[in-house]
Structure 1
């Protein structure tokens, strides 16, 4: 009888020890899992998603005793695009930079620009519900060097002439990695014209200089021009095939303070055809309409020109080196 009691007590002790060991193991596993989850969450919260491309396109033509005529020429365009994005909890912060500069040189002629761009973008948002963010956007645009009219050689633009700063508050819709749309009913747009002769001429919408009857300048032209209105910015990208990517971006701005029906448009498209990891061909277009930009336009049926508003369009095909960052 005593032996049975001792055996029963031994079995109960073994069961209790095993249960306690299993309970301790479960607690240790849960603690380890919680620590691992916290570590992953903290790491993810600190992670910046970055990337970009560097591209160099070149073309060259050499003519020697060429009976058909023509000019020897060399041209090149360098482009740099990069982004740095961060998301932690409900907060998202997207940043990007786009730089480009291109030149064309022909025999007996000064080099001419074919591209000139500085663009910085930042957008900070708080997620209200899935795919919808309350966001603030900032955008800055200008160019590196002075621009000249191809026909007359007259200076028509320069660094910070114009320079454009856009600040907007609105809703940002990002349903997936391919599409985004920022909609702002309250956006400030400030245009800078730091070159005084261009400012005196009233370029890019600023108030021009005033002169007396003898042509003496009384006041300088304004160096800034303020607008307030609605702004929409959209982006879509998609891989059409394994080595073919399509990207399009479009900006629309309506100035509430003057002629809101005349909407400013900046719409660009880009097809990238990758040959391998470092060589690619590109096809791009850029359409611009700015209600405050005056351009030289020909009178139909004559050789005369006049200054007026108009749609600008550029198309380019490039083949060259493309490196991913």
Structure 2
């Protein structure tokens, strides 16, 4: 009996010892997994990998993980470099500027004399860019119209332009872009020579919509090392001049070679330079100059178009702009053409809106 009891106790001890061992194995395996997940792999320190952590600029507001809005009050043209300094893009970039300028004078028994008048100029400038990887589609719309109305005189136009650009581009390397696209320029309403016809009628018109109208098509390269400088070279560029008003289809008008001609075609090279100077905090001067040489006829006669704009910002909405435009086109008129404007008015800017991504860049092939 004693032998049976001793054997029973021995078997019971072996059983309990086996159970404790299984539980310990389970507990040990859990502990090992926890240790493996939190411990440092010392071997990996021999080949470290640096992770780029994106940071927002001080003047940015992060709305959520995918959208960043950056305010911009600079009226100067956008360049690839100015976009590359923003948070990374995903698909869409939008910038819009709206300007309205008023001028008004009123006189009553004023001994020095004067004429009651009121003037208005409205301008819009929108950039809409679509980006995916190294491919870009850049759309720019610039519209402007102004008039002045004085007592005893007909309403006179002071500004009138349509400028629409669409360009496709491909990023080749840092600061270099391959681009192609078109640019369309014209005006909204008929224009008159008020010196020759102080009170003109429609038959006195010297221009109108699509008379003239200009279309530029080209392919080339652009170089943009920083936001203040941009160089565009298009060795293959087509320039088409349209005059779709029969009254204005006269030899010599807008470079037409014969009476009744409605279109003049030129093929040549185009060079465009943008240089922006920041005078002080709220004042910038933007220089833009364009050269075009016709391969087909008189390549030595280079068309030159210069535009200078001084932009002064008083506060978020009130701005002053002084512009000077100088142009020489031997085929149109063998004299220097000049236009100067000064305006103080209200400007409202839409901020940059970009989606975040791992790639950056935008192409600005055409400059006005």
The two structures have a TM-score, normalised by structure 2, of 0.70
Is the radius of gyration larger for structure 1 or structure 2? 2
Q: How big is each residue's C-alpha offset from its partner over 1:113-154, in whole Å with a ceiling of 9 and x where there is no partner?
A: 111110011222111111111111311100011111122233
1:45, distance to aligned residue in structure 2 (A): 5.9
- 5+ residue gaps, structure 1, are 24-32, 34-38, 210-220, 295-308
CA contact (8 A) 2:213 2:241 kept: yes
Change over 3 Å in CA distance of 1:151–1:10 after alignment to 2: closer
Distance 1:239 1:47, change over 3 A: farther
Kept in 2, the 8 Å contact 1:125–1:172? The answer is: no
Q: Mapping of 1:272-287 within 5 angstroms?
A: 272-287=311-326
What residue number does 1:206 align with? Answer: 256
Residues 204, 100 of structure 1: alpha-carbon distance in 2 compared, 3 angstrom cutoff: same
Partner SS for 1:269: strand
Which residue pairs with 1:16 in the alignment? 32
Residue 226 of structure 2 aligns to a residue in which SS? Answer: coil
Matched, 1:93 2:143: no
| CA spacing shift, 1:95–1:164, aligned 2, 3 Å | same
Check if 1:163 corresponds to 2:213.
yes
Q: Which has the higher contact order (CA 8 A, sep 6+)?
A: 2
CA distance in 1, matches of 2:265, 2:105: 45
Q: Which of these residues, 177, 180, 205, is aligned with residue 230 of structure 2?
A: 180
| CA–CA distance in structure 2, aligned partners of residues 277 and 72 of structure 1 | 31
The answer to which structure has the higher strand fraction is 1
Shift of residue 72, structure 1, vs aligned partner? 2.3
Aligned mates of 2:25, 2:113 — CA distance in 1: 111
CA shift in 2, pair 1:93/1:233, >3 Å: farther
Shift of 1:46: 4.2
Distance 1:183 1:100 in 2: 27
SS across alignment from 1:67: coil
Give SS of 1:16's match: helix
Matched, 1:56 2:95: no
* TM-score normalised per structure 1: 0.78
Alignment pair present for 1:245 and 2:284 = yes
- 1:222 paired residue among 253, 261, 270: 261
CA contact (8 A) 1:55 1:323 kept: yes
Q: Given that residues 52 and 324 in structure 1 are in contact (C-alpha distance below 8 angstroms), is that contact kept between their aligned partners in structure 2?
A: yes
- Contact 2:252/2:332, CA 8 A, preserved across alignment: no
User: What is the deviation of 1:271?
Assistant: 1.6
Residue 262 (1) aligns with residue 304 (2) = no
Runs of 4+ in 1 over 3 A off after TM superposition: 5-12, 19-23, 43-46, 236-240
Structure 2 unmatched ranges of 5 or more: 1-16, 40-50, 52-64, 67-86, 198-203, 351-368
Root mean square deviation, CA, Å: 2.8
User: d(CA) in 2 for partners of 1:233 and 1:181?
Assistant: 6
Report the CA distance shift for 1:73/1:201 in structure 2 as closer, same or farther (over 3 A).
Answer: farther
Residues 44, 88 of structure 1: 8 Å contact kept? no
- Partners of 1:14 and 1:66 in 2: how far apart? 98
Distance 2:103 2:322 in 1: 15
Contact 1:51–1:324, Cα closer than 8 Å, also in 2: yes
Within 5 Å, give how 1:38-57 maps onto structure 2.
46-57=90-101
- In structure 2, do the counterparts of structure 1 residues 49 and 179 end up closer, same or farther at CA, with 3 Å as the change threshold? farther
Higher mean Cα deviation, 199-208 or 154-163? 199-208
